[in-house]
Amino acid sequence: MKLVVMHLTGNYAVAWAVKLSRVKVVSAYPITPQTTIVEKISEFVESGMMDAKIVRVESEHSALATVFGAASSGVRAFTATSSHGLMYMYEMVWWSAGARVPIVMAIVTRTIGAPWNIWSDHSDFMSQRDTGWLMMFAEHNQEVLDSVIQLFRISEDPRVYLPGMIALDAFILSHTTEPVDIPDQSLVDSFLPGRRQPYTFKSGDPITMGNLPSNPRDNMRMRWDVHKSLVAAKKVITEVDREWSKLTGRSYGGLIECYMCSDAKYFIIGAGAWVGDMREAVDMLRSEGYEVGLIKLRFVRPFPAEELAEVMRGGKGAIVFDRSVSAGSAGPLYLDTVAHLGALNVEVPVKNVIAGIAGVDVTYNDIASVVRSFIEEIESKGVVSNYVEWYFR
């Protein structure tokens, strides 16, 4: 297969994926560092390379409302935002999931104020974790492009019928240029079937949606169904990864990806762009004789509980790196991990390292040094003393 490589920032990779997915309606409000996604899409539409309508709105709340309306009426629709924009959109995020309308949204992860800050952490993205959306992270720009296309397919699968959001780190991916293979339009067309959704608003065929339930039990069942569909999405995600791999040769493991895990005793767990630095840290620690592996959380909703348990059972310890924190408790990835591992009887000591908050740079050296001290503590004392550590370089 011939590769068609362009040199794209993460944001342009999103725009290319949206174009290749034949999205018909895009609505967004500008916010750094998301803006260049929609700028690039506007260029595509203006130059006739893409057949879509761009709807300008006065806020992110209206942007998602517009996209929701367009998607409800039967077309593929897309929006993107960051940080405060996502906060402003929050009501519609819930509504879109409850109404079971497939939509794809890119979140260029950015710190939430105060104080004002445009650098990456995952606070904005992780604060959406109870909404009912599919939620995934990308590690590099090729994965950004591939995953946006995959997310349309997963979101519109009748076993799922839920909106999905993808996180790409502010600047670290959004403004970083990397070689990206652009799949052929015919390949994407064969992978993405025509639009599917549970119901469609059409003029001349009126229906009503989202009205007060006559019985709250029905409403509870609807919420249960959102949950069940997210759990059912695990199978769809795995299938989709496999099919994409057949078409392009690129697999990301579906829900999680393991690196050097087969003989590992200790695990590094993380999500997002810094997973690349974690890979380097694993190589470095391996060369020093540490039996370390990496588990990349590609999806966080659905949460890959059984998949983690299967890899980690019999391990001696793990560190979950969180780039956000549920203040007053711990990092959200850690909380999910320990809750499920505990329930699944995987008795592995797990430490939480909260790092990279507000855009603080974290390198493979930082990661390796944290892992080294953790392993030495477990080996010498058998316990984790400071199980939620804030790491300041």
For other proteins, which is the closer residue by CB, 177 or 185?
Answer: 177
Which of 86, 362, 370, 371 is close enough to bind other proteins by CB under 8 A? 362
Which of 39, 54, 61, 178 is close enough to bind other proteins by CB under 8 A? 178
Nearest approach, Cβ of residue 350 and other proteins (Å): 24
For other proteins, which is the closer residue by CB, 173 or 261?
Answer: 173
The conformation of residue 185, written as its DSSP 8-state character, comes to H
Contact call for residue 181 and other proteins (CB under 8 A): no
Of 272, 306, 277, 246, give the one whose Cα is nearest residue 141. 272
* Bond preceding residue 33 cis, omega within 30 of 0: yes
Contact call for residue 47 and other proteins (CB under 8 A): no
Q: Which amino acid is at 4?
A: V
Backbone dihedral angles phi then psi of residue 96, each to the nearest 5 degrees: -65, -40
Nearest approach, Cβ of residue 113 and other proteins (Å): 15
Which of 184, 283, 377, 389 is close enough to bind other proteins by CB under 8 A? 283
Which of 284, 330, 344, 358 is close enough to bind other proteins by CB under 8 A? 284
Nearest approach, Cβ of residue 284 and other proteins (Å): 7
Contacting other proteins within 147-176 (CB under 8 A)? 169-173, 175-176
Q: What is the rounded CA–CA span in Å between residue 200 and residue 27? A: 19
How far apart, in Å, are the Cα atoms of 338 and each of 84, 320, 348?
Answer: 29, 9, 9
| Total residue count of the chain as it appears in this document | 393
**SS3 (DSSP) at 382:** coil
Q: Are 291 and 337 in contact (CB under 8 A)?
A: no
DSSP symbols for 237-261: HHHHHHHHHHHHS----TTEEEES-
**SS3 (DSSP) at 116:** coil
Contact call for residue 335 and other proteins (CB under 8 A): no
**Residues binding other proteins: number (CB under 8 A):** 31
For other proteins, which is the closer residue by CB, 20 or 170?
Answer: 170
For other proteins, which is the closer residue by CB, 57 or 284?
Answer: 284
User: Per-residue contact track with other proteins, 296 to 315, x per CB under 8 A?
Assistant: --------------------
Nearest approach, Cβ of residue 361 and other proteins (Å): 5
Contact call for residue 361 and other proteins (CB under 8 A): yes
H/E segment holding residue 146:
helix 141-155
**SS3 (DSSP) at 297:** strand
Nearest approach, Cβ of residue 279 and other proteins (Å): 5
SS3 assignment for 62-82 = HHHHHHHHHHHCCCCEEEEEC
Q: Which residues of 139-162 are buried (b: 16+ CB within 10 A; e: fewer)?
A: bbbbbbbbbbbbbbbbbbbeebbb
Q: Which stretch binds other proteins (CB under 8 A): 19-27, 37-45, 98-106, 177-185?
A: 177-185
Residues that bind other proteins (CB under 8 A): 5, 7, 32, 118-120, 140, 169-173, 175-179, 273-274, 276-277, 279-280, 283-284, 287, 359, 361-364
